[in-house]
A and B are shown apart, each in its own frame.
Chain A
Amino acid sequence: MTAPTSRPLSPHLTIWKWGPHMLVSILHRTTGSALTFAGLALLTWWLLAIASGAPAYEQFVAIATHPLGFVVMIGLTWAFWQHFFSGLRHLFMDMGAGYELKTNKLFAVLTIAASLFATAATWFILVGVNR
């Protein structure tokens, strides 16, 4: 299908007043893309480093525990939780529920609150409790 030229265009981002549901919808795509490209690359590298031997794993740890490495890992953790909760919201909405304006907005706000809380909790446990 070539780009349709004669069909009307939907009013785009710039003319709408932003709301939490729009933000969460876009975040679902950006976090999903980030998890796919950066997250899966990191997963592959991590598994290969473990399989390759001690020097390769030490190199992985050295880069991962660099301040920038923490920024990436914490960022991906937040991306994971945001996509996770937003994904649950989508599964719920796929059943045809939660489209009422107030409910929809409330669940959108809740995914953001939950993802921030879960990210903090994850790193608190990863850094604080175990090691």
Chain B
Amino acid sequence: MSMGKSATPLGKVRGLGPAGHGGGHWIEERFTSVVLVLLSLWLLFSLMMLPALDRATLVEWLRAPAGAVPMALFVIAAFKHGLDGVKVVVDDYVHAEGNRIATHFVLSMAAIGGAALSLFALAKIAFGAVAQ
């Protein structure tokens, strides 16, 4: 982390900002946002187009690759984007470094846990391990 005298303009700003870094995180957040534009519209239109929203219809939909694969990608992208987003909010409002890192840790565990639960449930449905 270079503060103060530095040879290059980049060196002067590297490590600054509330997160202590930023470029990579910023790009990743945009990346998942573009992915989610497509996948969230897919999810919403799929729910609108399904003949009904009862369990049998949903199981049939999520058993087919055309339902299960985009849903898995949606779960991963949504949890990643949500975590990236709330981390930025935390960076702006939690100033003590220890609290900031602890909050990031708790949020990361919650996001990874939630994504794992969702993917497990989805896999169970997709691989036919549930009653129709």
A residues with CB within 8 A of B = 1-3, 29, 32-33, 35-37, 39-41, 43-44, 47-48, 50-54, 57, 80, 84, 87-88, 91, 94, 122, 125-126, 129-131
Decide: A47 and B52 in contact? CB cutoff 8 A. Answer: no
**A residues near B95, Cβ cutoff 8 Å:** 2-3
**B residues near A43, Cβ cutoff 8 Å:** 75, 78, 118
A36 CB contact (under 8 Å) in B49, B51, B85: B85
B130 CB contact (under 8 Å) in A3, A51, A130: A51
Decide: B86 and A125 in contact? CB cutoff 8 A. Answer: no
What secondary structure prevails in chain A residues at the interface with B? Answer: helix
Decide: A50 and B82 in contact? CB cutoff 8 A. Answer: no
**A residues near B122, Cβ cutoff 8 Å:** 47, 51
B47 within 8 A of A: yes
Q: Quote the shortest CB–CB distance from B23 to chain A (angstroms).
A: 13
A2-B95, A94-B30 known; A36 vs B82 contact (CB < 8 Å): yes
B33 within 8 A of A: yes
What secondary structure prevails in chain B residues at the interface with A? Answer: helix
Decide: A29 and B124 in contact? CB cutoff 8 A. Answer: no
**A residues near B78, Cβ cutoff 8 Å:** 39-40, 43
A43-B78, A131-B53 known; A87 vs B37 contact (CB < 8 Å): yes
**A residues near B121, Cβ cutoff 8 Å:** 44, 47-48, 50-52
Decide: B125 and A47 in contact? CB cutoff 8 A. Answer: yes
A47-B122, A126-B47 known; A84 vs B40 contact (CB < 8 Å): yes
